[in-house]
């Protein structure tokens, strides 16, 4: 499910950052459905504001199988996302667009990560070059979605150890997976293959 919003970058677009939600932007306490439980991870607000200032479009790309599993409804997801937006940008609609993949892992899915479809469709719709796009997430599925779309994928904070990451990178013909201690370093990513 995607929910396009008005693009908020002013001036030339530097690229697009696709952002996982739980464990990347906010603490992952497991199927978060209460907006009062939203807690930003350190540096997220400053980083995303700086990314926007630098001309990057910012897209939220989140698997929310709690909906498909019947744990909570879209109203709860929307409330959590609105709270997240408020904490980052003092608005309910901070992001330039979002994809909320509600499917369970055992059912067919168009958008649930590791599917790269949301990234591919967004890049096509906005005529974005893969080299200008980055997927940032804390989990293997986030990285797989990014690589599947042919863009860089950055593990920011996560649930796979270095050994697993190295094996994953090898399987994807990548010399290494980028690690960043600060999301803000995304702004300074070297451009390659231009
Ligand atoms: Mg995550």
Q: Transcribe 36-104 into DSSP letters.
A: GG--BPTTHHHHHHHHHHTTEEEEEEEE-HHHHTTSS-HHHHHHHHHHHHHHHHSSS--SSEEEEE---
In the predicted structure, residue 22 carries a pLDDT above the cut 50:
yes
Mean pLDDT, rounded, of the chain: 83
Q: For residue 187, give Cα distances in angstroms to 89, 151, 172.
A: 18, 15, 24
Please write the tens of the pLDDT for every residue from 66-97.
999 999 999 999 999 999 999 999 999 999 99
Residue corresponding to tokens 């370093």: 185
Measured in Å, residue 142 CA sits from the centre of ligand 1 at 7
Measured in Å, residue 20 CA sits from the centre of ligand 1 at 6
Which structure tokens are listed for 194?
């231009």
Q: From the candidates 3, 20, 34, 75, which is the catalytic residue?
A: 20
Q: Which CATH class is domain 14-188?
A: alpha beta
**22 flagged as catalytic:** yes
User: Which has the higher per-residue pLDDT, 183 or 61?
Assistant: 61
**138 flagged as catalytic:** no
Domain range list for the chain = 14-188
Residue corresponding to tokens 């909906």: 67
CB 15 within 8 A of CB 57: yes
Q: From the candidates 3, 22, 92, 138, which is the catalytic residue?
A: 22
Please write the tens of the pLDDT for every residue from 138-149.
888 998 999 999
User: Which has the higher per-residue pLDDT, 128 or 162?
Assistant: 128
Please write the tens of the pLDDT for every residue from 141-177.
998 999 999 998 887 654 445 666 566 666 655 544 4
User: Which has the higher per-residue pLDDT, 11 or 146?
Assistant: 146
Distance CA 46, CA 58 (A): 13
The per-residue b/e assignment along 53-62, b for 16 or more CB within 10 angstroms, e otherwise, is ebebbbbbbb
Q: For residue 66, give Cα distances in angstroms to 69, 70, 73, 104.
A: 5, 6, 8, 8
In the predicted structure, residue 187 carries a pLDDT above the cut 50:
no
């Amino acid at each position: 499910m995607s929910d396009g919003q008005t693009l908020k970058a002013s001036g030339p677009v530097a690229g697009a950052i696709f952002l996982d939600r739980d464990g990347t932007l906010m603490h992952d306490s497991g199927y978060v459905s209460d907006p009062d439980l939203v807690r930003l991870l350190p540096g997220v607000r400053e980083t995303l504001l700086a990314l926007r200032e630098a001309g990057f479009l910012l897209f939220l790309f989140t698997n929310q199988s709690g909906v498909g599993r019947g744990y909570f409804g879209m109203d709860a997801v929307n409330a959590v996302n609105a709270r997240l937006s408020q904490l980052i940008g003092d608005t309910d609609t901070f992001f330039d667009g979002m994809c909320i993949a509600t499917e369970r892992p055992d059912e067919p899915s168009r958008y649930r990560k590791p599917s790269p479809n949301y990234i591919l469709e967004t890049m096509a719709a906005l005529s974005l070059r893969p080299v200008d796009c980055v997927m940032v997430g804390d989990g293997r599925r986030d990285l797989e979605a990014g690589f599947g779309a042919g863009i860089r994928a950055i593990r920011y904070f996560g649930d796979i150890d270095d050994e697993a990451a190295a094996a994953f990178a090898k399987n994807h013909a990548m010399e290494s997976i980028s690690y960043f201690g600060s999301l803000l370093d995304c702004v300074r990513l070297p451009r390659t293959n231009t």
